[in-house]
Each structure stands twice: as C-alpha cells, then as structure tokens.
C-alpha cells in the first residue's frame, strides 16, 4: 500500500535551533518526493522536491532534505529556525508518470519558541 508517515504530530524548537522533521514512505514505484508548508488558513507552498540525482536537495527558506532509499525516508532539515517557520509541514509522494495522485502525510505542526 502507498503511504506516507510523519511520526511527529507536533514539534517545538527554540528560535535559532536546528530542525529535523521525519518522513517515511511506502511506494511501489520510483517516487517523486515533496515537502510542503502550510500556514494557518493558507494553501500549500512547495519547499522542495526530489525527482532523481543528488539525494540532498535544497529548497526555499533555507530548508534541505535528504532522500535515503534504503530507509524509505525523506527527512526535512533546517540549521537555524526562525519564528516565521512556525507552520504545518507535509511530506508527500507522487508518481513519476501517469498522473498527479499525490499522497500526503498527516503533517507535523512546528512551534517555535523565543
């Protein structure tokens, strides 16, 4: 079965501290992997994506993610969190071909304390 698991429902970090959000997926074919961010009352904004090649991908707002095929993981990292990073983060997986059925995880809510 195709699925995305984000083990942490919410995480709290201090401003300036590093961040890692976990994501594990189950997918039969070669996946496209995505991280999205959603602020309250807003739609989804793409942070970064992995299609192929270098397993460490850079995104917007200083985020990066590493694809580890052996662990079926695609964890999101940021070296220094800013208060404006407080939001909901979604990991997602989609097909290389044949449509856009993207499967999302349940999300991780990030709280940033001063």
Partner 1 sequence: ETGVTQSPTHLIKTRGQQVTLRCSSQSGHNTVSWYQQALGQGPQFIFQYYREEENGRGNFPPRFSGLQFPNYSSELNVNALELDDSALYLCASGTSGGTNEQFFGPGTRLTVL
Query: Are the C-beta atoms of residues 11 and 110 closer than 8 Å to each other?
Result: yes
* Residues recorded for the chain: 114
Residue 100 tokens, joined: 């856009």
Which stretches of the chain bind partner 1, using CB under 8 A?
4, 32, 34, 36, 42-46, 49, 51, 90, 92, 94-96, 98-107
Smallest gap from residue 32 Cβ to partner 1 (A): 5
**Nearer to partner 1 among residue 51 and residue 111 (C-beta):** 51
Smallest gap from residue 104 Cβ to partner 1 (A): 3
How far apart, in whole angstroms, are the C-alpha atoms of residue 4 and residue 93?
7
**Nearer to partner 1 among residue 34 and residue 67 (C-beta):** 34
């Amino acid at each position: 079965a195709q699925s995305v698991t984000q083990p942490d429902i919410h995480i709290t970090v201090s401003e300036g501290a590093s961040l890692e959000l976990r994501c594990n997926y189950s997918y039969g074919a070669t996946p496209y992997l995505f991280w999205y961010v959603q602020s309250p009352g807003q739609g989804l904004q793409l942070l970064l994506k992995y299609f192929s090649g270098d397993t460490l991908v850079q995104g917007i707002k200083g985020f990066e993610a590493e694809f580890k095929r052996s662990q079926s993981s695609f964890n999101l990292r940021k070296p220094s969190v800013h208060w404006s990073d407080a939001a909901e983060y979604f990991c997602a997986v989609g097909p290389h071909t044949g449509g856009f059925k993207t499967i999302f995880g349940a999300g991780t809510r990030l709280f940033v304390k001063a």
